[in-house]
Structure 1
Amino acid sequence: MLFYPIDLDYKVIRDKAVVHIYGRTTDGQQICIVDEDFEPYFYVVPKKGVGIGALKEELSKVKSGTKDTEYRVTKTETVKKTLLGREIQAIKLTVNVPSAVPALRDEIKNKRDVEDILEYDILFTRRYLVDKKITPLVLTEAEAEPLTERAERSRVPVFKATSITQTSNESLEDLKILAFDIETYNPQGKITIPEQHPIIMVSLYGKRFKRVITWKRFKTDLDYVEFVEGEAQLIERFKELVNEQSPDILTGYYSDGFDLPFIIKRGEKYKIKLDISLDYEKASVSRGKTKTIDTTGIVHVDILNFIRRVISRKLKTDSYKLDDVAEELLGENKDNVDIERLAEAWDKASPDLEAFAKYNLKDSKLTYNLCEKVLPNLIELVKLIGQTIKETNRMSFSQFVEWYIIRRAADFNQFIPNKPHHGELEERMSERIKGAFVYEPKPGLYENVAVFDFRSLYPTIIVSHNISIETLRCGCCEDKEKVPIENENIWFCRKKEGFLSSVLKEIITRRMRVKEIMKKSDEKKRVFLDARQESLKTLSNSFYGYLGFFAARWYNRDCAKSVTAYGRHYIHKVIEEAEENDFKVLYSDTDSIFLHLQKKSKKDALDFCEKINASLPGMMELEYEGMFKRALFVAIKEADAGAKKRYALIDEEGKIKIKGFEMVRRNVSQIAKKTQEEVIRMILEGEQPEKAYKYVNAVIEKLKSKKVDVKDLAIPTKLTRPIESYESIGPHVAAAKRLRAKGVEVYPGMVISYVVTAGKEKIRDRAKLPEEVKKGDYDADYYVNNQVLPAVEKILEVFGYESEELAGSKKQSKLGAYF
């Protein structure tokens, strides 16, 4: 039987963990494959000098549990592997059920002859995928027979496997998606509370399916609107439609934080379980740092999670609101209705409810389209990391790296190190690693600038210098090259390739290969290949950060600081070579260098790059990024030096590139961004600074005469934690409270926009939501002195203009004005 694994879970049946793999066959049928041939285990490391045979005998008899639940060892085995460069002999303890692992560890850890316990914190289902070498979504072959005894507890056919193997690279790319969205009763001025306010509409959207369910009738010709008798029937009908559509993915936008918890809570009122899983179990709610909702067989994907964690680095928008993200990624928007009027329309059974039904469906459609848009990236990460969609969707970048390494550990005969305990975490967090070198620019406008940067600097340093924990201070290469750090004696083996450096090398090589294949592929294949190379890039660029991440299993401070030391060494080397070859160095930061050519030519710059590359080791390479007609560097406050990572360039085709200015940062209004963008454009395109100065004066005059649109005054600021945990109430928190009072769900990570209105109260008391502000009702002085001038003053100072010349006396706001 050939099938694509999509999700998996396990159940304890007759004192044995039984893995259930949910997937689709090659002809599209949903199935469940049961595997009884995998047992949980962990490792015990004996103290030096302890007889391993006697300890094995002792450990084989260890038991724990209660009268109803017994935890016991079912098998012992001696294993030799490497742990962080040391070969270790350990005892592998196989146990009866997954919950026996922590229970028996607690029984064993304090025994006199036990040095350490390893791999006790690997989740059973993740362990299964790693050990069985099964990658979700990749074609898998199972020798299996129908299992009728489980049929009554499964919505799909169940088969018992005698063997499961994965020999193909073919993957399932056309996953069936069903998106949903709810609308709740939200009396104006009140917070929507699931204990009090009902769900009044729920929409579902799929490839060839759309539906809005509601329980108040109104006149409509919309064929997708379905009326039921009440909220309880709405929830039941939602469940029925999900099961009828049998999706692989059930997706929502902030559905972990709002939609599904709300449905679950309202269902409890009517004693209705959200049992949409393929095993009839109700959705499970887990509360770690953030709440998550899981269903089995049908994978719940809160697509906001993936966009916020992975896709956000490419987004220009400051906001994660559905409307803003959809506009950027899809070129689509939500329907323009006043959602605050929904409760009123509901109470009156108004014909306007039809517009709200359309609005509700559009939200589901946008969610569906967003999921479809980013799904190639999620699929490629799943295939790379080797974990399920729901697990991968919630991973951080450090977890991507860690699970890729874990997946490769067996091939290198490596034990997986334990997570650091509390004391280790505190010690690691107190350690500081010196970062990159910055050659600060002198403020000014320069012409004919060549820019170079190292291709994947830190990853290629790790590979080229074999930086890995087991190669650190080897016994054979002490007399060879040392890491260039003063008063340190660090070196890495030059004879035997390390585990981590080998793993990273294969990632970089794979990406290069994928990029070559892309050049010869059709458009459809290129979408997934591009997602694959992007995933490989994400993984390789995260390696250095992982080595220095305090919670990493493979953390090593010496390795991490060696990477940055080599980075500083090579950038210094390029600067010295440039100056020796009569180039004027304008700026350098981490992995890039800006050269003022003056009388030199583009060919001279390219020859210089070639000369540098001839001297670089291994995979390291200096790349020519391009020639720029002009480069603008500005000063930092109270200093003559240029600001780090704050520059603007214009290339030979007239394309402008900007780093670090307000227009590419959050917490800045559109009026400030637009003003700065126009000033930069004028200067880079060669216009006189006086023209830019006059332009800024005109903007200030427009602000003071109250002619600026409210939308250009909104200041977007991200909530970094729940509203209740803020001790000081800043303007964005005050605005968030106003938003929540309107019935809108407010959550950490959400970008709140506010406008500072006219008045003499503290700024937080004058912070209003943009839709609450009438035209002209804003504090012009605030926007001049705290938004526009800070955005342009350092640019104009390069040409001798002072901010006082623009706005008269500039008043510096004290922090107390905000709180």
Structure 2
Amino acid sequence: MKFYIFDVSYEVEMHKPVILMWSIDEKGRRVLLKDPRFRPYFYVIPMNEADIDDLKRKILTLSKPKSPIISIDIQKKKFIGKEITVLRVTTVLPESVRSYREEVKKLKEVKDVLEADIRFAMRYIIDKDIKLNSWHEVEVRSKGRDPKYRVEEVFEVLSDPKAVEGKDEKPKLRQLAFDIEVYNKDGAPKAERDPIISIALVSEDFKEVKIADNKNDRELLLYFRKRVLDYDPDLVYGYNCNKFDWPFIIERAKLNGVSIDVGRKVGVPPSTGAYGHVSLPGRLNVDVYDFAKDVYEVKVKTLENVADYLGVVKKDERVIIPGHEIYKYWEDPSKREILKKYNLDDALSTFLLAQLFVPFGEQLSYLTGLPLDQVGAASVGFKVEWYLIRVAYKVDELVPNRVERRAQSYKGAIVLRPRRGVHENVAVLDFSSMYPNIMIKYNVGPDTLVRPGEKYDPDEVYVSPIGHMFKKKPDAFFKISLTQLLKMRKEIKEKLKSLDPESPQYKLLDERQKAVKVLANAHYGYMGWSHARWYCKECAEAVTAWGRELILKSIELARSLGLEVIYGDTDSLFVRYDKEKVEKLIKLIQEKLGFEVKIDKIYKKLFFTEAKKRYAGILEDGRIDIVGFEAVRGDWAEVAKEVQEKVIELILKEGNTDEAIKYVKDVIEKLRKGEIDIEKLVIWKTLEKDFSEYKTEPPHVVAAKRARLKGYEFKKGDKVGYVIVRGSGKLAQRAWPWFMVDKSKIDVNYYIDHQVIPAAMRILGYFGITETSLKGMEGGLWTFLRKKSRGR
């Protein structure tokens, strides 16, 4: 039979592990495939002089009745590129693997123990080459219905699942988004004290919200459980639900004595799994916030900000209630309908954002083997690593253990000092997958790196510009992985040409090629990530050295053609656009340097300050593109960002400094009159450390501590929003949480002098405008500056 497998877990039955594959059959029924045949194992690397048979006997003496060692097999594997002999030790219970690892490691004949920390369900996905969120063919025997599971039929697996090639259409998945509102009169809501006062649910079939009549939320929890079970979704969406909604629901359910087992295993409540995600057996709980974090253009990633930016629910089309005032709308019966609408808007925003993010997440899951509810929560490093582990299994390469190590810096990419000012008609040339292609061309990897003292043939190595050497043969493990990915992407893009862009198959494959690109481009960064199993600092710094060399040689070629080079950054060159010469340059780079380059953007106008990585331009289609300025940074107030964006627009689109000056002066006047909303004055800053680690207290730390006194919780990694109020003393002592301040207390002069004017002057300063003129100085000097700015 054919099954669409979307999640894999396991349970122990009769003292033996059973793999559970949560699936949908071709009739659209929710079914469960149970495979009782798979067993956990790990690898033992013997010392060079060890007697293998003697070591096998010693390991067998460690066997325990609860989970006996059932086999020890001698195998040939590769480890960091070298062929070695290992023992594969198989036991019964997955949780016994780690205890066996510790005991085996103590044997003097043992050099190391590997792959004991690969989770059992992931081990199955890797070994059986399961491609999640896709169709597989499996030999099965029907077991009928089972009251332990909320599925229509249970099957016993009789053969290894095989992926069905070419069957790309997805079955219809049921999706449900939810959002809760919590009573928070005393600051940050605490589950042990504060009840849930409203729950909203949104699916393709219904939108509804239920509000509590009193502070007893038992009825709300029972309603939530019933509606989830009745609708029986495959995908459950929340926004920051792993950190807030689910922990709150779980704790409130305990306090109320309510069973909240809303998964497909009867009696099993939600639990926190790997990477901090909340697991619902048989369903995929997807925290949409995990994907929204990658929308770098939105610096403060509240649900309404992300939904507004991506256009799914605009701010002016929905109800917005400041978080600290939610309880007021519940306490006042006349305002409860507003609260309901707010709650429903949040759930709807979550549902619509999921439609944008989840297709990409499904394809990352397909490639890495991480289930969809984990793939968003895992860092990019872990995503790459799980993909590499899948590749390693196929090429008989053993997976290194994770080692705790300090992060080490190394020289990075080249960034040229830009040519200051406004430039017209600028092309940005982008090197396609520069770092992956360098890694492939020069066979870079920890397994091909020539280590100090190691013998090598000078004709059989690639030498990096900083001296690190890599053997030309055999293919590096990373080269194998990257070659597969780039080939896969090329094949997908070729297939897309024959498909209707509106067809479901096109959309699925397009998301897959994006996921492939993300994984390929992350291989380089992974090598320099201190948590990486295949960590290799020498590899990472060699790649950046070759990257720097490539950019510098490309600049030489550009100048030899008479092209004006304005800027260069990592894998991009900014040149004055001359169609014929640029086309020649692209051809020369390909022929002489062996790398593909293409035109990424063309700016009609482009403005640079003297600073690197800071520019703004107007694209051919009229869009404004801003990089590195306050307008795209999270630690400036919204009013400063708006001013800078508008000034850039007026300068680039209209070339009008007079209008820009007038606009800035109008904003300053509005600030002085108190006509700017307080939300636009909030400065957001992340707590990079625990409170105890700060030797001095910057403004956001002072503000966070003041909020904590009122019951609001802040911890390392949280963003703190604060405003500056009038008063004496250091700036930090005048920083207050924005929701604890009346607008009349705002220090307007601070926002004029340290937010609005500096943001505007980043641009206007180049045109000879002074700070004094922006503050409203009139007379001869003002006229002179205006004339000077027009003359420039």
In structure 1, give the amino acid aligned to 2:309. E
Match of 2:313 among 323, 326, 331: 331
Q: Partner of 1:104 in structure 2? A: 100
State the match for 1:73 in structure 2: 69
> Which residue of 193, 201, 204 maps to 1:204?
201
Where 2:31 maps in the other structure, the secondary structure is strand
Deviation at 1:200, TM superposition (A): 2.6
- Separation (CA, whole Å) in 2 of partners of 1:653 and 1:579: 28
Among residues 278, 282, 287, which one is paired with 1:297 in the alignment? Answer: 282
CA contact (8 A) 2:427 2:575 kept: yes
- Which residue identity does 2:420 align to in structure 1? P
Secondary structure at 2:402 match in 1:
coil
Deviation at 1:705, TM superposition (A): 5.1
* Counterparts in 2 of 1:204 and 1:721: CA distance versus 1, 3 Å: farther
Deviation per residue, 1:52-104 (Å, 9 max, x gap): 2222233223224xxxx723211011111111111011010001211121111
Does residue 516 of the first structure (1) align with residue 489 of the second (2)? no
**Distance between the aligned counterparts of 1:215 and 1:656, measured in 2?**
46
Q: Is the 8 A contact 1:318 1:751 kept in 2?
A: no
What letter corresponds to residue 155 of structure 2 in structure 1? F
Residue in 2 that maps onto 1:671: 639
State the distance in 2 between where 1:343 and 1:710 align: 20
Partner in structure 2 of residue 371 of structure 1: 354
Kept in 2, the 8 Å contact 1:72–1:100? The answer is no
1:496 aligns with 2:474: yes
Tell me whether 624-633 or 525-534 shows the greater mean CA deviation: 624-633
- Label 1:207 to 1:719 Cα distance change in 2 as closer, same or farther (>3 A): farther
Equivalent in the alignment of 1:283: 269
Check whether the contact 1:708–1:776 (CA below 8 A) recurs between aligned residues.
no
**What is the CA distance between 1:17 and its match in structure 2?**
1.2
Distance 1:557 1:346, change over 3 A: closer
Cα displacement (A) at 1:47: 0.8
Q: What CA distance in whole angstroms lies between the structure 2 residues aligned with 1:481 and 1:46? A: 30
Q: Secondary structure at the match of 1:78?
A: strand
Q: 1:321 aligns with which of 298, 302, 308?
A: 302
2:630 aligned to 654, 658, 662, which one? 662
Structure 1 residues 737 and 242: alpha-carbon distance in aligned structure 2, compared to 1, 3 A threshold: farther
Shift of 1:571: 0.8
Amino acid at match of 1:325: V
Structure 1 residue 645: deviation in Å? 0.9
Question: 2:188 is matched with which residue?
Answer: 191
Question: Residues 670-819 of structure 1: matches in 2 within 5 Å?
Answer: 670-685=638-653, 687=655, 689=657, 692-693=660-661, 695-697=663-665, 699-704=667-672, 706-720=674-688, 730-733=698-701, 751-760=719-728, 762-764=730-732, 766-767=734-735, 777-803=745-771, 806-807=774-775
Residues 1:50 and 2:50 aligned together: yes
Task: Report the Cα distance in structure 2 between the residues aligned to 1:366 and 1:524, rounded to whole angstroms.
Answer: 25
CA–CA distance in 2 between the matches of 1:581 and 1:347?
73
1:394 corresponds to: 377
- Tell me the amino acid that sits aligned with residue 668 of structure 1: W
2:783 is matched with: none
CA contact (8 A) 2:461 2:472 kept: no
Matched residue, 1:124: 120
- Structure 1-normalised TM-score? 0.86
Is 1:405 matched up with 2:388? yes
1:220-262 per-residue CA deviation (whole Å, 9 max, x = no partner) reads xxxxxxxxx9532332232222112111122222221222211
**Cα distance, 1:372 vs structure 2:** 2.5
Contact kept in structure 1, 2:270 and 2:281, CA below 8 Å: no
- Cα 1:365–1:100 change in 2 (3 A) is same
CA offset at residue 491 of structure 1? 2.7
| Kept after mapping to 1: 8 A contact 2:130/2:163 | no
Amino acid in structure 2 at the alignment position of 1:623: K
Match of 2:606 in 1: 631
The correspondence for 2:509, drawn from 529, 543, 546, is: 529
**Aligned residue runs from structure 1 range 210-609, under 5 A:** 210-216=207-213, 231-286=217-272, 291-308=276-293, 311-313=294-296, 316-329=297-310, 330-333=312-315, 334-337=318-321, 343=327, 346=330, 350-420=333-403, 422=404, 425-426=405-406, 429=407, 431-473=408-450, 478-479=458-459, 482-486=462-466, 488=467, 490-522=468-500, 523-525=502-504, 526-596=506-576, 601-609=578-586
Residue 94 in structure 1 maps to residue 90 in structure 2: yes
- Look up the equivalent residue of 1:517 and give its one-letter code: K
The 8 Å contact of residues 140 and 167 in structure 1, kept in 2 or not, is answered as: yes
Say whether the 8 Å CA contact 1:79–1:92 is kept in structure 2. yes
Q: Is the 8 A contact 2:250 2:270 kept in 1?
A: no
Structure 1 residue aligned with 2:587: 610
Structure 1 gap ranges (5+): 218-228, 635-641, 810-819
- CA deviations on 1:450-497 (whole Å, 9 max, x unpaired) are 4322112111111122212333339775225643434x3x33333432
SS of corresponding position for 2:3: strand
How many Å separate the matches in 2 of 1:738 and 1:180? 32
Contact 2:187 2:712 in 1 (8 A): no
- Spell out, residue by residue over 1:161-195, the C-alpha distance to the aligned partner (whole angstroms, 9 max, x if none): 212322314353632112222222333x4432211
- SS of structure 2 residue aligned to 1:402: helix
- Contact (CA 8 Å) 1:173, 1:376: kept in 2 or not? no
- Alignment CA distance shift 1:180-1:470 (3 Å): same
Aligned length: 766
The equivalent of 1:224 in structure 2 is none
How far is the alpha carbon of 1:324 from its aligned partner? 1.3
- 2:140 is equivalent to residue 144 of structure 1: yes
Deviations 1:315-345 (A, max 9, x none): x322221111222221344424576665456
Counterpart-to-counterpart distance in 2, 1:771 and 1:354: 23
AA at the equivalent of 2:54: A
Partner of 2:60: 60
TM value normalised by structure 2: 0.89
Q: State the shift of 1:579 in Å.
A: 2.9
CA drift of 1:382 comes to 0.8
In structure 1, distance between residues paired with 2:208 and 2:710: 27
Q: 1:213: Cα distance to partner?
A: 3.5
| 1:643-658 paired onto structure 2 within 5 Å | 643-652=611-620, 654-658=622-626
Whether the 8 Å CA contact 2:329–2:338 is kept in 1: the answer is: no
Contact 1:483 1:565 in 2 (8 A): no
CA distance in 1, matches of 2:623, 2:236: 41
The residue number in structure 1 matching 2:785 is: none
2:640 counterpart SS class: helix
Task: Tell me how far apart the structure 1 counterparts of residues 656 and 195 of structure 2 sit (CA, whole Å).
Answer: 62
The one-letter code matched in structure 2 to 1:493 is K
Paired letter, 1:565: A
Q: Deviations over 1:257-282 (max 9, x none)?
A: 22221122122223323222222243
- Which letter does structure 2 place at the counterpart of 1:294? S
Cα 1:742–1:513 shift into 2, 3 Å? farther
**How many Å apart are 1:723 and its aligned residue?**
7.1
Q: Which amino acid is the alignment partner of residue 367 of structure 1?
A: T
**Structure 1 SS opposite 2:590:** helix
Aligned partners of 2:640 and 2:755 also within 8 Å? yes
Secondary structure in structure 1 of the residue aligned to 2:399: coil
Q: Which residue of 1 aligns with 2:790?
A: none
Report the secondary structure of 2:447's partner residue.
helix
Instruction: Compute the displacement of 1:437 (Å).
Output: 1.8
Distance in structure 2 (CA, Å) of the matches to 1:2 and 1:193: 46
- Counterparts of 1:6 and 1:29, CA distance in 2: 13
Once structures 1 and 2 are overlaid, which stretch shifts more, 53-62 or 123-132?
53-62
One-letter code aligned to 1:578: A
Q: Could you tell me which amino acid in structure 2 is paired with residue 22 of structure 1?
A: W
| Identical aligned residues as a percent | 34
Preserved contact between residue 283 and residue 293 of structure 1 (Cα < 8 Å): no
When residues 341 and 561 of structure 1 are mapped into structure 2, their CA distance, relative to the original with a 3 A threshold, is: closer
